[in-house]
Structure formats: structure tokens, C-alpha cells
Amino acid sequence: MKRRVIALGLTLALAASTLLTGCGIVKVVKIGEEGKYTGNVEFNAGDDVAAIWEDSALPEMNETAVDLTEFLTQSNGDLTALADDYGKYSMGDSGELSYVVKGTGTVEEVNTDSQAGFMTVKLEGYTGSEAVKIQIGPVYKGSSIRDTLSFIKFGDYKNQEEWAAVSQSINQVVADDVVGPVEPSSLQGKNISFVGAFTVSSGSTDVLITPVVLEVK
């Protein structure tokens, strides 16, 4: 993935003692452009996410999302059963299992009692026992969006801290651009449509979706 560099418009003097006609030369380089000369590019997770969100992340998730009603009916209570058909593991062929899904339904509850708030949704055409929830923050659990995107790989980052920062930046975009504009506190009893991702939790049949599209119908 291309790393974008923050341009601050300031300058930084990088002094390099070189021998050129017997004189030392000082090279003045703008902050953020040091990588051109040192080979090290400053990492910024927010810039990484901004660069891929509209042009890559949203189109891919809209295209690959499976209808959640059909998914739950087909899985018949085993959320791991369709891993080969629709799932993606966080570490390639291992790690946490996540799916990209879409659906429509009615908001039955808006829960803001904890920081990790959620809405409970009654899916259209589904009568199964799974609880379908959509995260509304301000704290967002998991990394399901990051882990389902085909072009984001752990190996592209230097360490676990950078990898985690990408997920945090994605969740911040969700909070600011997806959840915030629809004002979740006003949605109880309303019909909504959504696209998002969820990670299978061991021992639980709850479907906790982090949305990338959330619209009131």
C-alpha cells in the first residue's frame, strides 16, 4: 500500500557533511519529504485510510457483501460454516474469521449504556435466533473491516502497532462519516439498510456489525 506523507509546509535543515570542492554543503528539506533522501517514509494511519476509503474500500465491500438474511439461513446456526464461500481470515489462512454482509431491517433497540454502543436490528425476512447488532460507538470493537479488505495485509506494515493503528483509523472514519450523520439515537423503530463486516466470536451467535454504509429508508 502506498504510504502518504503529511506536508506541513515547514522546513527542516538536514546537515550532511560532504566533500565537494573542499566545502561542506547543507541540504534544506521540507518536513515530510525526508523519505526522498533517507529512504524512510513517515507512517500515518489516517492518511493510509483516507487514501483507500472512497476509491477502494467502499467499492470492494459493496461488491463482495453477502445478503445477511441469506447468509444466516444458509449457515443454520454455525457462523463458521460458510468460511470457504464468503469468509476472510485476518492472517491469510488463520486468525479471526470475518464476513462482509449487507441487509435491511428495523431498529428494535438503540443501546448507549456503554461506550461500545450498538443497535439491535430485526432483519427483513429472517426469523432465526441470532441477534443482529450494528456498532454505533463511540468505542468500536474488533478489526473486521480492516481484516476483510483484500488489499490490506499485515506484511505491508512494520509492526503490530502500525497494523492496529490502521484499524483504529478505519473505525474513526466509521464514527465520523458513517454513524454520526444518521444520528443513531433517533433510529429506534425505523427501517435501515446497511453494509458492513463482522467477526465470528467464539461461543457466540451474535452478529456484531461495523458498518461502512448506514442509511435510513
What's the distance, CA 56 to chain centroid?
A: 12
Q: What is the pLDDT of residues 31-83, one digit of tens each?
A: 334 444 545 556 787 777 888 899 999 999 999 999 999 999 999 999 999 99
- The three-state secondary structure class of 59 is helix
CATH number of 43-216: 2.40.50.420
CA dist., res. 65 & res. 21, Å (int): 64
- Please check whether residue 33 is in contact with residue 5, taking contact to mean a CB–CB distance below 8 angstroms: yes
Cell for 210?
461495523
Per DSSP, 131 falls in state P
Per-domain residue ranges of the chain: 1-42, 43-216
Q: At what angle do helices 45-52 and 160-173 cross, to 10 degrees?
A: 50
Higher local confidence (pLDDT), 185 or 33? 185
pTM: 0.79
